[in-house]
Amino acid sequence: MSAPAAARPSAARVVARGRRRSATRRRVIIATLAVLVVAGFAVTLMFGQTFYPPDDVVRVILGEQVPGASFTVGRLRLPRAVLAVVAGFSFGMAGVTFQTMLRNPLASPDIIGISWGASAAAAIAIVSLSLDRTQVSALAIVSALAVALLIYVLAFRDGVVGTRLILIGIGISAILESVTSYVLSRAAEWDLQEATRWLTGSLNGVTWDQTLPALAALVVLTPVLLHQARDLSAMQLGDDTASALGVRVERTRVTVIVAAVGLIAFATAAAGPIAFVAFLSGPIAARLVGVGGSLLVPAGLVGALLVLVADFAGQFAFDTRYPVGVVTGVLGAPYLVYLIVRTHRAGGSP
């Protein structure tokens, strides 16, 4: 009788210690990611065709006039770097939200066509209709929400099965990609710059009036998502368990979908559907911070870091300047195939 009694407190202590350790690990990794994002942001502002020392950059950000730097850093690099962070963070958070909610890493908005909805709408609004920024963003979010709803309705038959939802999403993506290509080819001339933005995502020639709506959306919608983080984690256990735990499942689901689609739509309207960032960020973040706890913030940071690094590498690491979406596309493509191989080998449908 004495042996189990002695074992019980020590087991509890082991669990407690493990929890403390993983919480510490989580905090350390989030802090490291944040530092890396800030460092990447700073490097993006300082380096380029010409180098500007940190104090010049800081003075420009504070609003002082610095010859040369005011234009290069303030007008060219700053909006671009801010949009890189904002779009990356938006894609990362929205991606992991969908992956968590649908319990499937393949169900990220860029694979199931939601990003394509926003991209097609933005391409139509800008290339064919020449609308202004607010209208573009509005159209993008309406269209992305409509696509999300459409995929859900089409995939619903006695419940939503993961594989069916993903394949239907891929079909929808094919349609929307064709619509985007169609819009682009109807434009006066095939402008490769515009085409790459709406087909793969690009930060080339970004200005403040593209960046600011995306930033505003991020500032408004991040707290909404974070507020739902705990309920979202509970929903991973299944709808019945979650509602037994006191989660209002339907309300949480609608709120979360609208917020995540909003993030995607605003970021896409500014930067195009930067390939695979939403898809990659969640799994990378999960690998880094481990299970337990919400992945929203880590995935957002990973996304921001991905876009910053990919954009910087795309601009300067090669002979030619690649748009950021091409770089993330090359990174994401093998991972997509690997994920399929792994889930198939593990048995059952992904």
Partner 1 sequence: MTSVGIDRAPDAALVRRPARVRFLWLLVTAGVLAALMVASVALGSRDVTWSDVWAALGGADDTLEQAAVAKRMPRTLLAVVIGAALGLAGCVMQGVTRNPLADPGILGVNMGASLAVVTAVAFFGLTSPTGYIWVAMAGAAVSAVFVYAVGSLGRGGATPLKLALAGTATSVAFASLVSAVALPRNDIAGSFKLWQIGGVGGASYERIGQVLPFLAVGLAVCLLSARGLNSLALGDELAAGLGERVAVIRAMAALGAVVLCGASTAVAGPIGFVGLVVPHACRLLVGVDHRWLLPFSALTGAALLTAADVAGRVVTRPADVEVGIVTALIGAPFFIHIVRRQKVRDL
- Positions in the binding site for partner 1 (CB under 8 A): 106, 111, 154-155, 157-158, 161-164, 166-168, 170-172, 174-175, 177-179, 181-182, 185-186, 190, 192, 196, 199-200, 275-276, 318-323, 325-327, 329-330, 332-334, 336-337, 340-341, 343-350
Query: Judged by CB, which is closer to partner 1: 102, or 141?
Result: 102
Q: How far is the CB of 231 from partner 1 (least distance, A)?
A: 28
How many Cβ atoms are within 10 Å of 336's Cβ, its own excluded? Answer: 17
Query: Judged by CB, which is closer to partner 1: 141, or 274?
Result: 274
CA distances from 4 to 7, 8, 15, 16 (A): 5, 6, 16, 18
Q: How far is the CB of 300 from partner 1 (least distance, A)?
A: 23
Q: How far is the CB of 134 from partner 1 (least distance, A)?
A: 29
Query: Judged by CB, which is closer to partner 1: 190, or 316?
Result: 190
Taking a C-beta distance cutoff of 8 angstroms, is the pair 86, 218 a contact? yes
Query: Judged by CB, which is closer to partner 1: 91, or 276?
Result: 276
Q: How far is the CB of 306 from partner 1 (least distance, A)?
A: 14
Strand, helix or coil at 293?
coil
Distance between CA atoms of 227 and 182, rounded to whole angstroms? 40
Query: Judged by CB, which is closer to partner 1: 110, or 231?
Result: 110
The single residue listed with the structure tokens 């939200």 is 97
Taking a C-beta distance cutoff of 8 angstroms, is the pair 348, 104 a contact? no
Distance between CA atoms of 282 and 99, rounded to whole angstroms? 7
Query: Judged by CB, which is closer to partner 1: 104, or 252?
Result: 104
Question: Which runs of consecutive H residues, i.e. helices, occur in the chain?
Answer: 2-46, 54-61, 69, 78-101, 114-123, 133-155, 162-186, 192-200, 208-227, 229-235, 239-244, 249-271, 277-289, 296-316, 324-346
DSSP state of 160: B
Taking a C-beta distance cutoff of 8 angstroms, is the pair 112, 170 a contact? yes
Q: How far is the CB of 90 from partner 1 (least distance, A)?
A: 20
Query: Judged by CB, which is closer to partner 1: 97, or 104?
Result: 104
Q: How far is the CB of 215 from partner 1 (least distance, A)?
A: 27
Question: Following DSSP, what letter does each residue of 5-66 receive, concatenated?
Answer: HHHHHHHHHHHHHHHHHHHHHHHHHHHHHHHHHHHHHHHHHH-SSS---HHHHHHHHTT---
Q: How far is the CB of 157 from partner 1 (least distance, A)?
A: 7
